[in-house]
Structure 1
Amino acid sequence: MASKVTIILGGAASGKSAFAEQACVKTGKSRVYWATSQIFDSEMQEKVARHVDQRGAGWTTIEEPYEAKTALGAAQPHDVVLMDCATMWLTNHLLAENDLEKETRVLLEAIKDCPAEVVVVTNETGLGIVPENALARRFREAQGRLNIALAAAADTVVLVAAGLPMTLKGTT
């Protein structure tokens, strides 16, 4: 079972990744970065490069856009694994037309079975307007359900807005 599970959520460009990275550094454990994004264009390539620069040295990176068990399977009790982010992971599965409920169950099981501390970054998408198209509405609903499930399984949940953390559950 994961020694501790922390969920860091917030809006786009809210500072959640930087906060999560610092939380991992503070553990003093070996840091593993689970990168879930796929790079399809130069904009995403630039965003990934910014994230790599932001977190700095001292991380082992696992690039795995789909398979939670693969990404978390090699983790050890002396590690802290940062999943950045659950939103990209969900997007990957949604666009691949995978069974989102099944994949969410697999993710939650992999987190539960992971012997390392796990920190998950995820986007809060339910604070905006109702999207005008069906795919965006389906995504928003799926992201909300995923966040609820992650938060229920977590020891600590932190909302980051404008770079400022607010603990919603547990202690930081």
Structure 2
Amino acid sequence: MSRIVLITGGQRSGKSEQAEALALSLSAHPVYMATAHVWDDEFRKRVEKHQQRRGAQWTNIEEERWLSRHDMTGRVVLVDCITLWLTNFLTDGQTTEQILQDAKDEFDRLTAQDATFIFVTNEIGSGGVSENALQRRFTDLQGWMNQYVASRADEVILMVSGIAVKIK
């Protein structure tokens, strides 16, 4: 039976560090599933900082889209992060509703595996409303996906200034 933990919060709130610590407390050899597409040098440096923080005990998988194609049975899996994962769906020209359904279906296929999943996501909708139509569309998509994951999660943790607040 799978277990799902969602860790959410703002940028630089300590989400990834909290998720990594939780994964290591549950397994000596957890899986780190990175969903990011590296767009530029600045982002590459962010990815490198994350990689340097993790040691050899991690199994690293880079998967931008089809998370469920990896057999995670019996493992502790940190998926970092839902936000970057969703951006990888935006290039297909699909409607927001189609992207959301595809993401939900893929999430369900992944979490149907008997494993412990720790998902990291961002609360990007906590600020004001963007003037940019694509940003508004993505904020809606992210919010709906976060709600979906949270509704299926066994535990939800909100990170605020490096402090973990259990909300479910």
What's the TM-score, normalizing by structure 1? 0.91
Does 1:11 find its partner at 2:10?
yes
Q: Please give the alpha-carbon distance, in whole angstroms, between the structure 2 residues aligned to 1:29 and 1:111.
A: 22
Deviation, 1:110, is 2.0
Does 1:74 find its partner at 2:68?
no
Deviation, 1:96, is 3.4
Per-residue CA distance 1:124-153 (angstroms, 9 max, x = gap): 112100011110000000000000000000
Percent identity over paired residues? 38
- RMSD over aligned CA atoms reads 1.3
Q: Please give the alpha-carbon distance, in whole angstroms, between the structure 1 residues aligned to 2:20 and 2:91.
A: 27
Describe the shift of the 1:131–1:122 C-alpha distance in structure 2 as closer, same or farther (beyond 3 A).
same
Q: Please give the alpha-carbon distance, in whole angstroms, between the structure 2 residues aligned to 1:18 and 1:110.
A: 26
Q: 1:87 aligns with which of 77, 83, 96?
A: 83
**SS of match in other structure, 1:30:** coil
Q: Please give the alpha-carbon distance, in whole angstroms, between the structure 1 residues aligned to 2:28 and 2:54.
A: 15
Describe the shift of the 1:107–1:29 C-alpha distance in structure 2 as closer, same or farther (beyond 3 A).
farther
Q: Please give the alpha-carbon distance, in whole angstroms, between the structure 2 residues aligned to 1:127 and 1:76.
A: 35
Per-residue CA distance 1:55-107 (angstroms, 9 max, x = gap): 2221111111011212xx31121x10000000000111123334312222223
Q: Please give the alpha-carbon distance, in whole angstroms, between the structure 2 residues aligned to 1:96 and 1:36.
A: 17
Q: Please give the alpha-carbon distance, in whole angstroms, between the structure 2 residues aligned to 1:76 and 1:68.
A: 13
Does 1:136 find its partner at 2:139?
no
Per-residue CA distance 1:35-68 (angstroms, 9 max, x = gap): 0001121111100000011222211111110112
Counterpart code for 2:93: E
Q: Please give the alpha-carbon distance, in whole angstroms, between the structure 1 residues aligned to 2:93 and 2:68.
A: 19
Note the 1:152-163 alignment, pairs <5 A.
152-163=151-162
Describe the shift of the 1:23–1:89 C-alpha distance in structure 2 as closer, same or farther (beyond 3 A).
same
**Residue aligning to 1:113:** 112
Say whether the 8 Å CA contact 2:65–2:88 is kept in structure 1: yes
Q: Please give the alpha-carbon distance, in whole angstroms, between the structure 1 residues aligned to 2:77 and 2:29.
A: 8
Runs of 4+ in structure 1 deviating by more than 6 angstroms, as ranges, are none
What's the TM-score, normalizing by structure 2? 0.93
Q: Please give the alpha-carbon distance, in whole angstroms, between the structure 1 residues aligned to 2:33 and 2:161.
A: 24
Counterpart code for 1:101: L
Q: 1:97 aligns with which of 93, 96, 120?
A: 93
